[in-house]
Amino acid sequence: MHISLRQLRVFTAVARHLNYTRAAEALHLTQPAVSMQVHQLEETIGLPLFERLGKRILLTEAGQELNHYSLSIDRSLHELEEVMESLKGINRGRLQIAVASTVNYFAPRLLAIFQQRYPGISLSLDVTNRASLVNLLETNAVDLVLMGLPPQDVEVESEIFMENPLVVIAPPDHPLAGRHAIPMTQLAEEIFVMREPGSGTRQAMERFFGERGLTIRHGMQMTRNEALKQAVRSGLGLGVVSLHTIELELETRRLVTLDVVGFPDLRHWYLVYRCGKRLSPVASAFRAFVMAEATWIAAPMLRTASALNR
């Protein structure tokens, strides 16, 4: 078979979007040009790669197989490009980072300092939820991921780079605000605003209560930390969040943390990448930077937050 890289890139774009028009827009091509490339590829292979189901298009079995190998080829070419750039010096190349939404409260500080040291590096940051991070790891679609507990059903390499204290938050006028050594049994009587199922914070919260034989009284469910904090401020219930996410709220006294026995629940942040992945020189430099310096970059914020809440 004689397949060009151009054909594979066009096919991969259509497979990603499952839409010829959106693929054409992403590739800055016309829709007829995209359709022609896919048609030529199907003729070369001798099998259909897409099938129509109403107005939708789906990958055929042959298309799924080709997509698997096409993504692998694209990753290999990306690694080759990174290696070639590294021979010109560490200050060249690209870095694709994905982080949990909670990590994004301090990730820009990390990236800003790293960018100052290596201004020639092109950085890409994807902020998303846990389910999407797991998918990115499964497909080996990014260089490194910063997240909470690593997935158990994906083969990954993971390293702890910083503590992640989970705290109970409440509005300043809550009856439990200012009380000391609040027992967990009393906390279990309160209603909690929750993150969505699958969220790392929610998993940690459910595990913490479950280990003590307690049931959480669920209130509203939120998919974003900002919405959860707003709900708590409005008196819709208590919440459990990472201390990293409430610096501004503690400073302005919009929220307080409760002194609950067993809290803060000390968790960790992990640097994660697919098992067996060959890190580019740029990715290796960022990994070393995070492992050595993430704590001191975030530590002033945590010290300030703790002092403000006394």
The pLDDT of residue 36: 92
Residue type for position 145:
V
Q: Are 200 and 130 in contact (CB under 8 A)?
A: yes
Q: Answer yes or no: do 135 and 214 share one domain.
A: no
Q: For the whole model, what pTM was predicted?
A: 0.67
CB 119 within 8 A of CB 282: no
> Under DSSP, is residue 121 helix (H, G, I), strand (E, B) or coil?
coil
Distances (CA, A) of 7 to 20, 39, 187: 14, 10, 59
Q: Check if the beta carbon of residue 3 is closer than 8 Å to that of residue 9.
A: no
Task: Quote the radius of gyration of the chain (alpha carbons, Å).
Answer: 23
Interval 179-211: pLDDT, tens: 999 999 998 899 999 998 888 888 889 999 999
Total of domains in the chain: 3
Q: In this structure, are 115 and 33 located in the same domain?
A: no
For residues 257 and 171, state if they share a domain. yes
Kindly report, residue by residue over 79-101, the tens digit of the pLDDT. Answer: 777 666 665 656 667 899 999 98
Q: What is the pLDDT at residue 89?
A: 58
pLDDT at 307 (0 to 100): 47
Please indicate, yes or no, whether residues 9 and 21 belong to a single structural domain of this protein. Answer: yes
Q: What is the tens place of the pLDDT at every residue in 94-138?
A: 899 999 988 988 899 899 999 998 888 889 999 998 889 999 999
Backbone angle region of 46, left / alpha / beta, with phi > 0 → left and psi within -120 to 50 → alpha: left
Are 149 and 267 in contact by the 8 Å Cβ rule? The answer is yes
Asked if residue 116 and residue 257 are part of one domain, the reply reads: no
Query: What's the average model confidence in pLDDT over 216-230?
Result: 91
Q: Please state the φ and ψ torsions of residue 99, each to the nearest 5 degrees.
A: -135, 150
Q: Note whether 247 and 213 are same-domain residues.
A: yes
Residue 12: the pLDDT is 92
Structural domain ending residue among the three candidates 55, 75, 95:
75
In a shared domain, residues 54 and 108? no
Instruction: Give the per-residue pLDDT at 278.
Output: 82
Residues 125 and 207 in one domain: no
How many Cβ atoms from other residues are within 10 Å of residue 243's Cβ? 22
Q: Using an 8 Å Cβ cutoff, are 79 and 27 in contact?
A: no
- Dmax (CA) of the chain: 73
Which of 75, 102, 121 is the endpoint of a domain? 75
Task: Say if residue 149 is in the same domain as residue 214.
Answer: no
CATH of the domain at 29: 1.10.10.10
Q: Do both 184 and 249 map to the same domain?
A: yes
Q: Do 283 and 217 reside in the same domain of the chain?
A: no
Quick one: tokens of 300?
């002033």
With bands split at pLDDT 50, 70 and 90, how would you rate the model's confidence at 310?
A: very low
* Closest by CA position to 101, among listed 178, 8, 202, 209: 202
CATH number of the domain that 185 lies in?
Answer: 3.40.190.10
E strand residue ranges, the chain: 50-53, 56-59, 94-100, 122-128, 144-147, 156-170, 191-195, 217-222, 239-242, 256-257, 265-274
H or E, element range at 53: strand 50-53
> Could you tell me if 240 and 114 lie in one domain?
no
Which residue range is the domain that position 36 belongs to? Answer: 5-75
pLDDT digits (tens, 9 = 90+) for 22-37: 999 988 889 999 999 9
**How high is the mean pLDDT of the chain?**
88
pLDDT band at 248 (very low <50, low <70, confident <90, very high): confident
Single residue among 47, 75, 103 that ends a domain in this structure: 75
